[in-house]
A and B are shown apart, each in its own frame.
Chain A
Amino acid sequence: MRIKRSAIRPIARTLAKELAFTFALLVGISVVVYAMLVTAPNSHSADLATARPAEQTATPAYFHWLAGLVQGDLGNTSRSGGLVADELIPAAGHTLFLIACAMSASLLVAVPLAVCAATKRFNGLSRPLLITLYLSSALPSFWLAYAAIFVSTHYLDYFPVVDGTNIDWPITALATAILVLGSGLATTAARELSSELTRVLSQEYVTAAVAKGACLWRHAYVEGLLLPILEIAATRLSHVIGACVIVEQVLNWPGLGRLVWQAAQERDTHLVMGAVLACALFVALAHLLHRTLHVLMNPRASHMGY
Chain B
Amino acid sequence: MRTRYVERNLDGAQSAGQSFSQTRRWWDTAGIAFGVLVFFVLTLAFTASQFGWLPYDPDQADLDLILAPLGSPGHILGTDFFGRDLATRLIVGVNAYFLPALGAVAVSLTIGATLGLAAGFRGGPVGLATHYTCTLVEAIPRLLLVLFAVTVYQPDIYHIMLIIGLTGFPGLATRLRLRIRHLREQSFFESALASGVSLQTILFKHLLWHHCRPLFLIHASQAMGEAILFETSLSYLGFGVQEPTPSWGNMVQTGSDYLLQGNFWPSTLPAAAIAITLIAFYLFADAFERRAQDRQNP
Partner-B contacts on A (CB < 8 A): 21, 24-25, 28-29, 32-33, 36-37, 40-41, 45, 123, 134-135, 138-144, 146-147, 149-150, 153-154, 235, 238-239, 241-243, 245-246, 249, 260-261, 263-265, 267-269, 272-273, 275-276, 279-280, 283-284, 287
Contact = CB atoms under 8 A, between A and B. Distances in A.
B139 A246 contact: no
A150 B144 contact: no
Nearest to A124: B1
A235 B233 CA distance: 21
A272 B252 contact: no
Contacts of B147: 245, 260-261, 264, 272
B150 A264 contact: yes
A45 B151 contact: yes
A29 B252 contact: no
Interface string B236-276: 11110000000001001100100110101001100110110
Contact of A272 (B142, B148, B229): B148
B152 A150 contact: no
Given A269-B151, A269-B152, A146 B144 contact: no
Interface of B: 1, 132, 135-136, 138-145, 147-154, 229, 232-233, 236-239, 249, 252-253, 256, 259-260, 262, 264, 267-268, 271-272, 274-275, 278-279, 282
B177 to A, nearest CB: 16
A287 B135 contact: yes
10 contacts: A28-B132, A139-B271, A140-B274, A144-B271, A147-B264, A150-B259, A241-B141, A242-B141, A246-B236, A287-B139
A144 B136 CA distance: 31
A25 B148 contact: no
Nearest to B131: A21
A140 B249 CA distance: 9
A272 B233 CA distance: 18
B256 A284 contact: no
A37 B279 CA distance: 37
Contacts of B138: 235, 238, 283
A50 to B, nearest CB: 15
Contact of A41 (B150, B153, B249): B153
A36 B260 contact: no
A140 B233 contact: yes
A140 B253 CA distance: 12
A276 B139 contact: no
A273 B132 contact: no
B279 A280 contact: no
B141 A142 contact: no
B278 A138 contact: yes
A268 B151 contact: yes
A153 B262 CA distance: 11
Most A CB atoms within 10 A — which of B1, B138, B152?
A: B152
Contact of A280 (B139, B252, B264): B139
A287 B238 CA distance: 32
Q: Which 9 A-B pairs have the closest CB atoms?
A: A143-B271, A242-B143, A242-B141, A238-B141, A241-B141, A264-B147, A138-B278, A138-B279, A139-B275
Contacts of B141: 238-239, 241-242, 276, 279-280, 283
B232 A140 contact: yes
A43 B142 CA distance: 25
Contacts of B264: 147, 150
Most B CB atoms within 10 A — which of A135, A140, A235, A275?
A: A140
A146 B151 contact: no
Most A CB atoms within 10 A — which of B136, B140, B141, B145?
A: B141
A280 B152 contact: no
Contact of B144 (A40, A140, A260): A260
Given A138-B278, A150-B260, A264-B239, 7 more contacts: A33-B148, A41-B154, A239-B141, A245-B144, A264-B150, A276-B148, A279-B141
A263 B153 CA distance: 14
A21 B232 CA distance: 35
Nearest to A134: B279
